[in-house]
Structure 1
Amino acid sequence: TSLNGEFDGLVAGAVKTDWHGDIENPNHAVARRARMADIVVTSAFQGASTGDSYRTVDPGSLVLRAGRPVLVAAQGAMDLPARRIVVSWKDTREARRAVADAVPLMAMAEEVTIVAVDRNPDDWTRDSVKDVASFLAGHGIKARTEIIKTADDEGNRLVDFFASMNAELIVSGAYGHSRLREWVFGGVTRSLLDEVWLNRLMSN
């Protein structure tokens, strides 16, 4: 009841809300409620694994279960500045879904950049990045493109790029699979989940 009151105080009638309380695994509860939502917003205090899946939502597990885009807010974020958005692009179903999910946010941004990291960029990579820019242009969104060639760790290289761009929101697909009741994430997905200073919109 005290949490319900705190929630009502924070919202203060600014938007229409409903309160749902459940005593169960938070990931399961939020994923089930996601069927009523356009987007799920959560925070991440310890990156990909919160350490206590019975008291705190695990964002990695949530994004793979929810069937909705998940906005993982930066640690301590009080609002969502989204003037500079970077799309972490890989030509996969998950990334295509994330780009489509993020169109309303990108339409309000001042600057959108599509970045792909590839050890050996080829015409396929360049064409896929151009196609994403064309898709966004069809929605009135002007985006610049960047292809980074690197032999280093993709996740680290991307995080460095986000910092250099002063990115305020990262859009990315989320890649993972379940193994022994734990989620095993792809390298870039884990890097993004672990960077708690970033706002991330992730889709699966």
Structure 2
Amino acid sequence: MKHITFYLDFISPYAYLAFEKLPEALKGISYSVTYKPLLFAGLLKHHGQLGPAEIVGKREWTYRQVLWLAHEQGLEFQLPARHPFNPLPLLRLAVACDAKGTPNRYVCETLLRHVWRGGADAADESRLGQMTALLAPQRAPGSVEVKADLKAHTDEAIQQGVFGVPTITVDGKLFWGLDALPMLRAYLLGNAWFDGLDWDAARQLESGATRPKP
């Protein structure tokens, strides 16, 4: 049995889509999953990047693309009333639902669907209260311990080279995004390509130009 780690932030529509499609993508494969919420903004800050929703043009394209992807894959999906939003309350709630800070699939599913189904305001305080009552967290979401666990997930992901969400890690390999699910499946099925040179060759490719910093 292979064990995979699924890094996610509820703010990401791609995390929702990949989460919903993961069981189908890995059908027939023996595996277990640990879900680790992290702060996507923390990854962006570390790598010196803007989020897709912070870039004019890319913002609109991102929303169009995820709407199309959901339509194509037959998934229920509606954009929330506002995006981006502050995901920290949802992330902390998820982490608080488990003593070790790793929520189960039900918790992650509930919070992802809270954001990406129905078209309501994902950050609405009354809705957050309803989610808290429904999930009945084991720890206080605002506690020092929960905040530390969330930061630890983010720091751990950065140390492993994670730069975006969703990212799935297995055997030290990173698979980023919804469109990496077929590649992940191939790896878990023992595709011989992963025993070749191409995986490591991608890391060794030299850069021919460096853009100057402003």
TM-score relative to the length of structure 2:
0.27
Task: Return the structure number with greater helix share.
Answer: 2
Higher relative contact order (CA 8 A, sep 6+): 2
